[in-house]
Chain A
Amino acid sequence: MKLTLYMATAETILLYFFLFVTTYLEIFILTTYLGRRKEIEKEGKRSPDDLSVFLSVTLVVPCFNEEKTVASTLDSVLALDYPKDKLKVIAVDDGSTDTTWNVLSEYHKKYPQIDILQKENGGKYTALNYGIEHCTTQLIGCLDADSFVDPKTLKKIVRRFVEDPLAMAVTPAIRIHKPSTVVQMVQSAEYMFGILVKKVMSYLGAIHVTPGPFTIFRKEVFEKIGPFRHAHNTEDMEIAFRMQANHLKIDNVHNAWIYTVGPNSVKKLYKQRLRWTHGFIENSKDYKYLFFNKKYGNLGLLTMPTAVILIGAVLSSVFFMLYNLIHFIWVKIIEFRAIGFTHIHIHFSWFFISTKLTILLGAMLFILLVTLMTAARHMVEGKRGISKNLIAFFVVYPLISPFWVIKSVYNAVFSKTTSWR
C-alpha cells in the first residue's frame, strides 16, 4: 500500500513537471513561428532564379555499399540548376564491398565534374574528411548517398550565404522520398514537423544538427574548427554542437527540399533512431558546458535542456505506464482467479469520462501538437487539415519511439556503442 502511495506521488510530481516543460516548449515554438509566419511565407515565395552571385560549391558524397542508390543521388546532383563551372562533386567510396566503385567510375567517365576517390573503410566521417581535404571551393556540401536533391535547392541555399555573410552553415528541409509503408508515413509527418521546428530554431540560433543530406558549410568552418569527428556515429550532430560552441551561425532554408529514403521497417527505423538518440545523449555529455549557459544563447537555455528533459519524460512515462499496466493485469488476474470473467458489468455514462487536471493538460498538449503539425503541413505542402500520415504518426510513433529512447539511455548508462547499420 505504501509503495502504491509513493508511486502515485512520484507519478503526479513528475507528470506535472513534464507536462509543464513540454507545454512550455510547444508554446515557445508556436509563438516564435506565429511571430515569423509572414517572413517565412515571404521567403517561401521568393524565386530562386533571382540569384546573381554564384559561389563555388563542392558536394562530397560518401558511399559505402550504395550500388543501388548512388546513381540516383548523382543524377539528382547533376540535375541541379547551378552553373556547371561552379559546382564540383567528389564521390568517396569508403571501401565498399559491392559494385559501388564501378558505378562511380562510369559516372566519372561520363561527367568530368564528378571526381571519385577510394579509400579503406573507416566510417562515414573519414570519407567526408577525405573528400573535404580535396576541396578548394568557397562552400562545401555533404550529401548522403540515399538522398536526392531538388534542382532549385542549391540556389536557395547559396542565396542565404550571399545575403548573410555571418551564415557559416545552412541546413535544408528534408522530406521522406515517396513514403509507401506505414513506417515511412510516420516519418513523413515527423520530418514535416521537423522542418517547422528547424526553421524556428534557426531564428533562435539553436539548431543542434546539421543533417548529412545536403547541409552546406563555408570552407572556413573546417579551417576554424577542424574536420568531422567520429562523435558516436553522429558526426552531423557533433559538428553542429562544435559550431554552436564556437559561435558559428547555422541557418536554415525551409523550402530547400532534399528527399531522403526513410527506413521502411520498424527494425531499420529503430536502428537509425537508436543511433541518433544515443548520439544526442553522448554529444550532450561531451558538450555539457553548453547547458544552461547564457553564453550559448537559446541552445544552452532552451533546446538542449528541453531535449534532455523530453528523454526523461519518455522514460518516466514508459515506467509509470508499465507500472499501471502491471497493476491492472494483476487485479484482472486476481479477479479471474476469484470469479472468472463471467461477471463483467459494463455501464457507460459521460459521468465516467475522466476530467482530472492531468488528463485535461494532456489533451491541451495534444491539441497544441496537432496545431503545430498541421501548421508544418501548411508550411511545407500548402495544405491544411489532418493527413493520413499525421494519423499514422499519432497512432504508431508513441508505440515505437520509447523502445529506442530506453535502449539509448541504457547504452549511455552502460557505455555501450551503437552501429551504423
Chain B
Amino acid sequence: MQPIQTKTYFFTLFATLALFVVAFAISTYITQKKTEELKSDEDKISINILSLETQYDLLKDSSCKTFNRDTLRSELDTLSSKLQFMEGQVGDDNPDVFRLKRYYSLLEIKDYLLTKKMSEQCHFDTIFILYFYANKDCPDCQTQEFYLRAIRDEYPQTETYSFDYALDLPAVKTLITLHSIPPKPPVIDINGKAYASFDSLDSLDSIIKQYIKIATSTPSIATTTVSKLKKTSHK
C-alpha cells in the first residue's frame, strides 16, 4: 500500500482554502466597486435634480418650454435596474445596498415632487403612479409589476415611482400617510387615488384610460415635451 501523503493532504487543504479566500476577496472587491459606482450614480442624479430645481426656480413660468428630464429619467431607470440586480447578488439585507436603496427612494420622491410641480405649473397631462410593493409575502407583486411595465410602454404620459413598503424611511412613510396607502401591498396609487392589486391588465388599462380622458380634456401647453419622456421600469 502506498503511504498516505499527509503533506499533500494539508497542502491541498491550504491551497483550496487560499483559493476560496482569493475568490472571496475578488468578489468583495468587485461588489464594493459596484456599490461605489451606484453611490456615484446616485450623487450624479441628486445633482441633476438639484440643477433642475434651481433652473425651475430661476426661470419660473418660462421654464415650461425648456423643462426636459429625459436624461434624468433614463439615469433613474438604469439605477433602478442596477439596484435590483445588486439586491439579487448580495441580498436586500446587505447594509450597503439597503443604504443605497433608501437614497434612491429619496431621489425618486424628489423627482416626483419636482415633476409634479412642473406638471401642475405647466399643465402637463402627466399621470403619476406610485407603486408600493414588498419583497416578502407579496404573491401579487410580480404580476402588478408586469402590468405597470406594459402600461409604461403603452402610455408615455405616465410616470411610475416604485417604493418598497417595508423600507424604513420617514419620507416614504410620510408619502404612505399623505396618500392614505393601505397597509397591505401591492398598492397602486394613480394621481392620488389608491387601488388594491389589479386582476388583469385590462382593468388597470381602463382606469388609466379614464385618467387620460380627464387629462386630455384640459388643454396642455407642453404636450410635445411630455411625449418625449421615455418610460421604462424602475423600482
Question: Which A residues have a C-beta under 8 Å from some C-beta of B?
Answer: 1, 20, 23-24, 27-28, 31-32, 35, 203-206, 247, 249, 294, 296-298, 301-302, 331, 334-335, 338-339, 343, 345, 347, 349, 351-352, 354-357, 360-361, 364
Contact = CB atoms under 8 A, between A and B. Distances in A.
Contacts of B214: none
A355 B34 CA distance: 10
Given A1-B137, A31-B12, A364-B19, A335 B4 contact: no
Contacts of A331: 142
A335 B82 CA distance: 21
B69 interface: no
Given A24-B12, A27-B12, A334 B142 contact: yes
Interface string B114-144: 0000000000000000000000110000110
Contacts of B85: 351-352
Contacts of A361: 19-20, 23
Given A23-B20, A203-B2, A349-B78, 13 more contacts: A23-B16, A24-B16, A27-B15, A32-B8, A297-B4, A301-B4, A301-B9, A334-B142, A338-B201, A339-B149, A347-B78, A355-B26, A357-B27
A283 to B, nearest CB: 19
Interface in B2-38: 2-5, 8-9, 11-13, 15-16, 19-20, 23-24, 26-27, 30-31, 34, 37
B87 to A, nearest CB: 13
Contacts of A206: 2
B26 to A, nearest CB: 6
Contacts of B4: 294, 297-298, 301
B232 interface: yes
B2 A338 contact: no
Given A343-B153, A347-B81, A360 B23 contact: yes
Contacts of B149: 339, 343, 345
B207 to A, nearest CB: 16
A296 B201 CA distance: 67
A411 to B, nearest CB: 32
B11 A204 contact: no
Top 3 nearest A-B pairs (CB, nearest first) are A205-B2, A338-B146, A339-B150
23 contacts: A20-B20, A24-B13, A27-B19, A28-B9, A31-B12, A204-B2, A204-B5, A205-B1, A205-B2, A338-B146, A343-B149, A347-B81, A351-B34, A352-B82, A355-B27, A355-B30, A355-B31, A356-B27, A357-B24, A361-B19, A361-B20, A364-B19, A364-B23
Nearest to B137: A1
B105 interface: no
A31 B19 contact: no
Contacts of A334: 142-143, 146
Contacts of B78: 347, 349
A360 B137 contact: no
A345 B146 CA distance: 12
Contact of B89 (A203, A343, A345, A356): A356
Nearest to A355: B30
Contact of A357 (B23, B81, B232): B23
Contact of A23 (B5, B19, B82, B233): B19
B153 to A, nearest CB: 5
Given A1-B136, A355-B89, A361-B23, A339 B1 contact: no
A360 B201 contact: no
B211 interface: no
Interface in B170-205: 201
A412 B30 CA distance: 44
A4 to B, nearest CB: 10
Contacts of A249: 1
Given A1-B137, A361-B20, A298 B2 contact: yes
B32 to A, nearest CB: 10
Interface in B143-166: 143, 146-147, 149-150, 153
B133 to A, nearest CB: 14
Nearest to A203: B2
A313 to B, nearest CB: 15
A35 B8 CA distance: 10
B69 to A, nearest CB: 19
Nearest to B23: A360
B80 to A, nearest CB: 11
Contacts of B15: 27, 31
Nearest to B89: A356
A72 to B, nearest CB: 37
B16 A338 contact: no
B23 A338 contact: no
Nearest to B146: A338
A249 B26 CA distance: 44
A2 to B, nearest CB: 10
Contacts of A343: 146, 149-150, 153
B223 to A, nearest CB: 24
Nearest to A344: B149
Contacts of B9: 28, 301-302
Interface string B67-98: 00000000000100110010001000000000
